Chain A
Amino acid sequence: MTPRVRVPETGYNFAYLDEATKRMIRRALLKAVAIPGYQVPFAAREMPMPYGWGTGGVQVTAAILGRNDVLKVIDQGSDDTTNAVSIRAFFARTAGVAVTTRTRDATVIQTRHRIPEAPLAEGQVLVYQVPIPEPLRFLEPRETETRQLHALAEYGPMHVKLYEDIARHGHIATTYAYPVEVAGRYVMDPSPTPKFDNPKMDDCPALQLFGAGREKRIYAVPPYTRVRSLDFEDHPFRVQHFDRPCALCGAGDVYLDEVLTDDAGGRMFVCSDTDHCEARREAGHRGEGA
């Protein structure tokens, strides 16, 4: 039996998971990168944080993390939201790894709902927390059915659903968790990132790994892989555009959070990616509200 290397502070194995569980997740990860966009079933364990709060991402991170990794954790683009703080603290405590808020300094970035604004680099791994990995789930609730649809690459119903939106609203009404086609084969859920982030997944130099704990699925997009957002010739995919720059750093090409400043309709728009915003301000950029 493999001896446990105990992290003295916690009494648990390095990065919490036992070695047999890590091997199981690692085997799933290797198949996930070999079949881009395909959801590999894995025996997700019960974690000390609730389902729906990042247990899949946490298990993937725990399985890949080494003692020389530098970990960044974001939620809604920010390093300082409560859940990001909690997960970062979990790994600092159970694995003793270095943590950072700087995107460029991180080797592993665990995220919920955003892809950082700063371009990712080769050698980095982006780990997504995924609530519902099945892009076809809301068209067909049954796993037995959706599995067949993927096996047959039968993605007609998904296109029909998107087109119904156009007929009804004049727009594709999906604004986040916008489905993508990976390497010309599997349709994949990018997790509930705003579709603003979808283009960053395409031809990305970093490895992208996705973990869904409650639904027990792992999937991956290798670096430099084609990731195409589903669209139509007469309604090409478009990202949201903000008609003003960040009030703090003046960035114009980023995703913004709307912050209500009073109860009289006052609001300001600031970068959702807090590290990106801080780095810009350190470099001397100023927005109108700064």
Chain B
Amino acid sequence: MYVAVKGGEAAIASAHRLLAEARRGDPAVPEIGVDQIAGQLALLVDRVMTEGSLHDRDLAALALKQARGDLIEAVFLVRAYRTTLPRFGASEPLDTGAMRLARRVSATYKDLPGGQVLGPTFDYTHRLIDFALAAEGASEPAAQAEPAPDAARAPRVTDLLGQDGLIEASPPDEGAPVGDLTREPLDFPAERDLRLQALARGDEGFVLALAYSTQRGYGRTHPFVGEIRVGEVEVEFVPEELGFAVPLGRLAVTECQTVNQFHGSAAEAPRFTRGYGLAFGHSERKAMAMALVDRALRADELGEAGGAPAQDQEFVLAHCDALQATGFVEHLKLPHYVDFQAELELVRRMRAEHAEATQEAAE
């Protein structure tokens, strides 16, 4: 029995020791290094950073090691650490147009200024298990890098469309403070900044499934991938005492902009609309799914018929966070015997009354 009348303390201590042992695995096998995780399970680390809302590769790698590879547990560790960090302020908006590109593809134009750059992608691999990778020491020949495009000559596709007024303008930066759902409780209806933050932190699987549902008719948005770009951007910050922006360093991010279903009216010429996704590191699936759901959540704003799950912001935002979901689902394994006792007692009483009534009817 795991809840003895006494002994919870000793049981927890033993469970922690067992966990440490299980984490280490076979001591005859060398222990995995945090640098190996950061370097060789890089996409997993990117996902932990994205859903953990904290850009720190080494910390995310360590969290994965501590969590025995459990993704949500690793996100949990990173978030709990993040919550205690002091906050110095908000950076300047990232200029993804000036990204140092590692990958850049567009599904709307065959060729475009700056070109298409495949970069490191699984897209055109055959998914055949490569048994050579199981043999240690096997090394691939060095890659012949594609010529990196010059960022200045690779403008965002949405900017190109915008020049002709074919797509709605990006909302102007009015310098209004950007919401932060980790500092203010989410209130409904939530503005787009908060929705995007929630989606960026949201569970990739959940956001992916919602995005998929919009493609199957539950809130169609007719998306095209205008562009996916992966690479490094500079982060700048304006310290109060200086009054001008200073660079803090570079971040790797993935950005996806979709070009969606057009809108127009008698008063307004038709034009395409946008969906937006952004994630840390190389997180293409997440960025795409996020852009589709972002667009679906704009149904109200754009006067579209609502009612699909992906268009329902209370449904999406209240359930997309993996930590909230896993915590509440898993809390069912905590003892509930007090409440169960209350139900037991009621069911017994009702059964007794039912038996009495049946007997009376029979007599």
Contacts and interface: CB of A to CB of B under 8 A. Distances in A.
Answer yes or no: A and B touching, Cβ < 8 Å.
yes
Interface stretch (B76-84, B103-111, B168-176): B76-84
A76 B331 contact: no
Interface string A37-79: 0000111111110111101000000000000000000011110
B338 to A, nearest CB: 5
B22 interface: no
B186 interface: yes
B336 interface: yes
A164 interface: no
A76 B337 contact: yes
Given A46-B323, A82-B3, A131-B331, A171 B346 contact: yes
B8 A80 contact: yes
A175 B336 CA distance: 13
A259 to B, nearest CB: 9
A40 to B, nearest CB: 9
Nearest to B183: A43
B339 A143 contact: no
Interface residues of A, number: 62
A210 interface: no
Contacts of A274: 5
Contacts of A44: 185
A51 B346 contact: no
B35 interface: no
Interface string B334-346: 1111110111111
B346 A113 contact: no
A14 interface: no
Given A45-B83, A80-B5, A81-B335, A176 B186 contact: no
A143 B188 contact: yes
A114 interface: yes
Contact of A51 (B11, B82, B323): B323
A80 B9 contact: yes
Given A80-B8, A131-B331, A240-B342, A42 B83 contact: no
Given A47-B80, A52-B328, A53-B327, A80 B182 contact: no
Given A53-B327, A85-B8, A176-B342, A257 B337 contact: yes
Contacts of A84: 8
Given A81-B8, A175-B342, A75 B330 contact: no
B328 A113 contact: no
B185 A143 contact: no
A195 interface: yes
B12 interface: yes
Contacts of B334: 52-53, 75, 82-83, 112
A195 B342 contact: yes
A77 B338 contact: yes
A18 interface: yes
B11 A82 contact: yes
Contacts of B338: 76-77, 113-114, 176, 193-194, 255, 257, 272
A86 B334 CA distance: 12
B2 interface: yes
A133 to B, nearest CB: 12
A50 B330 contact: yes
A50 B345 CA distance: 31
Contacts of A113: 336, 338-339
Interface string B1-20: 01111111101100000000
Contacts of B83: 21, 45-47
A216 B335 contact: no
- A42, A82, A85, A192: residue with the most chain B Cβ atoms closer than 10 Å: A82
Nearest to A85: B8
- A13, A41, A84, A143: residue with the most chain B Cβ atoms closer than 10 Å: A143
Contacts of A163: none
Given A42-B185, A131-B328, A144-B314, A18 B86 contact: yes
Given A46-B80, A144-B188, A80 B328 contact: no
A87 to B, nearest CB: 11
A184 B94 CA distance: 52
A16 B343 CA distance: 37
B70 interface: no
A199 B337 CA distance: 20
B324 interface: yes
29 contacts: A1-B86, A16-B84, A18-B86, A42-B185, A43-B185, A44-B185, A46-B76, A46-B182, A50-B326, A50-B327, A51-B327, A52-B330, A53-B327, A53-B331, A76-B336, A76-B338, A80-B6, A80-B8, A83-B334, A85-B8, A85-B12, A141-B314, A143-B188, A143-B318, A175-B345, A196-B342, A216-B186, A240-B342, A272-B337
Given A46-B82, A144-B189, 9 more contacts: A45-B182, A52-B330, A76-B3, A76-B335, A144-B188, A170-B353, A192-B339, A193-B338, A255-B341
